[in-house]
Structure 1
Amino acid sequence: MKRTQSVASFSIGNKDMHPVLIGITLAASISSTATFVINPGFVYVHGLSAFLHYGVAGSLGILSAFVVLTRGFLRVGEAHQALTIPQWIYYRYNHRGFSLFFAFLNLLSITFVVLILVGCSYLVTGLFGLDQKVALIGVLVFVFSYVLMGGTYAHAYTNTVQGVMMILVTVFLVVTGWQHFGGDVTGALTRISTDYAAAFNPSSDLYFDVFSVFVSGFVVTFALMMQPHILTKVLYLRSEKDIKVFVGTTVGVGAVFMLMLLIGFYARLAGLDIETQDTVVREYLLFQFSGSLWGELVLTFIFITLLAAGMSTLDGILVSLSAMVVTDIAKPLVSDRIDALALSRWVLVGVGIVGLALAWNPPPIIGLFAQKGVYGLAAASVVPVVFGVLVRRHVPLVVVFASALTGIILHLVLNLFWGVSNPAVSAAWGIIASFAVGGMGLLFAGAHKH
Structure 2
Amino acid sequence: MTPELFKYLLVGAYALLVYGLSVVGMRRTASVAGFSIGNKDMHPVVVGITLAASIASTATFVINPGFVYQHGLSAYLHFGVAGSLGILSAFLVLTRGFLRLGETHAALTIPQWIFYRYNHRGFSLFFAFINLLSITFVVLILVGCSLLVTGLFPVDQKTALVGVLLFVFSYVLMGGTYAHAYTNTLQGVMMLAVTAVLFLQGYRYFGGDAAGALARIGADYAAAYNPSSRLYFDFFSVFVSGFVITFALMLQPHILTKVLYLRSERDIGLFIGTTVVVGALFTLMLMIGFYARLAGLEIDAQDTVVREYLLHEFGSSPWGEYVLVFIFITLLAAGMSTLDGILVALSAMVVTDIVRPLTGSDGSGLALSRWVLVAVGAIGLALAWEPPPLIGLFAQKGVYGLAAASLVPVLFGVLVRRHIPLWVVTGAAGIGLGGHLLLNLGFGIENPAVSATWGILAALAFGLTGLAATRPRRALDNSTSVE
What TM bracket, shorter-length normalisation?
over 0.9
Structure 1 residue corresponding to 2:48, chosen from 23, 37, 40: 23
1:409 aligns with 2:434: yes
For residue 167 of structure 2, what is the aligned residue in structure 1?
142
| Cα distance in 1, alignment partners of residues 315 and 361 from structure 2 | 56
User: 1:292-371 to 2 correspondence within 5 Å?
Assistant: 292-371=317-396
| Cα distance in 2, alignment partners of residues 335 and 312 from structure 1 | 33
| Cα distance in 1, alignment partners of residues 154 and 241 from structure 2 | 38
Unaligned runs of 5+ in 1: none
Larger radius of gyration: 2
Where 1:5 maps in the other structure, the secondary structure is coil
| Cα distance in 2, alignment partners of residues 72 and 328 from structure 1 | 21
What are the superposed Cα offsets for residues 154-200 of structure 1, whole Å, 9 maximum, x if unpaired? 00000000000000000000000000111110110000000000000
| Cα distance in 1, alignment partners of residues 124 and 134 from structure 2 | 16
Deviation at 1:339, TM superposition (A): 4.5
| Cα distance in 2, alignment partners of residues 338 and 206 from structure 1 | 48
Deviation at 1:335, TM superposition (A): 2.4
For residue 77 of structure 1, what is the aligned residue in structure 2?
102
| Cα distance in 2, alignment partners of residues 137 and 213 from structure 1 | 36
What are the superposed Cα offsets for residues 402-439 of structure 1, whole Å, 9 maximum, x if unpaired? 00000000000000010100000000000000100000
| Cα distance in 2, alignment partners of residues 53 and 129 from structure 1 | 35
For residue 200 of structure 1, what is the aligned residue in structure 2?
225
For residue 183 of structure 1, what is the aligned residue in structure 2?
208
| Cα distance in 1, alignment partners of residues 405 and 363 from structure 2 | 30
1:86 aligns with 2:111: yes
Task: Provide closer, same or farther for how the CA distance between residues 17 and 339 of structure 1 changes in structure 2, counting only shifts above 3 A.
Answer: closer
CA contact (8 A) 2:59 2:141 kept: yes
Where 1:32 maps in the other structure, the secondary structure is helix
Structure 1 residue corresponding to 2:411, chosen from 357, 376, 386: 386
What are the superposed Cα offsets for residues 230-285 of structure 1, whole Å, 9 maximum, x if unpaired? 00000000000000000000000000000000000000000000000000000000
For residue 254 of structure 1, what is the aligned residue in structure 2?
279
Structure 2 residue corresponding to 1:264, chosen from 280, 283, 289: 289
Percent sequence identity over aligned pairs = 76
Deviation at 1:129, TM superposition (A): 2.1
Unaligned runs of 5+ in 2: 1-25, 477-483
Amino acid at match of 2:163: G
Amino acid at match of 2:453: A
CA contact (8 A) 2:31 2:364 kept: no
| Cα distance in 1, alignment partners of residues 422 and 277 from structure 2 | 37
Deviation at 1:292, TM superposition (A): 1.8
1:152 aligns with 2:177: yes
For residue 465 of structure 2, what is the aligned residue in structure 1?
440
Where 2:471 maps in the other structure, the secondary structure is helix
What are the superposed Cα offsets for residues 281-325 of structure 1, whole Å, 9 maximum, x if unpaired? 000000000122210000000000000000000000000000000
For residue 226 of structure 1, what is the aligned residue in structure 2?
251
Amino acid at match of 2:53: A
1:418 aligns with 2:408: no
Structure 2 residue corresponding to 1:161, chosen from 168, 183, 186: 186
For residue 13 of structure 2, what is the aligned residue in structure 1?
none
Amino acid at match of 1:227: Q
| Cα distance in 2, alignment partners of residues 418 and 290 from structure 1 | 44
TM-score (structure 1 length as normaliser): 0.99
Structure 1 residue corresponding to 2:65, chosen from 40, 47, 52: 40
Structure 1 residue corresponding to 2:313, chosen from 277, 280, 288: 288
TM-score (structure 2 length as normaliser): 0.93
Number of aligned pairs?
A: 450
Structure 2 residue corresponding to 1:10, chosen from 17, 28, 35: 35
What are the superposed Cα offsets for residues 12-53 of structure 1, whole Å, 9 maximum, x if unpaired? 000010000000000000001000000000000000000000
For residue 59 of structure 1, what is the aligned residue in structure 2?
84
Structure 2 residue corresponding to 1:102, chosen from 124, 127, 140: 127
Deviation at 1:446, TM superposition (A): 1.1
| Cα distance in 2, alignment partners of residues 384 and 339 from structure 1 | 28
Amino acid at match of 1:33: T
What are the superposed Cα offsets for residues 97-149 of structure 1, whole Å, 9 maximum, x if unpaired? 10000000100000000000000000000000210000000000000010011
| Cα distance in 2, alignment partners of residues 69 and 291 from structure 1 | 48
| Cα distance in 2, alignment partners of residues 275 and 335 from structure 1 | 52
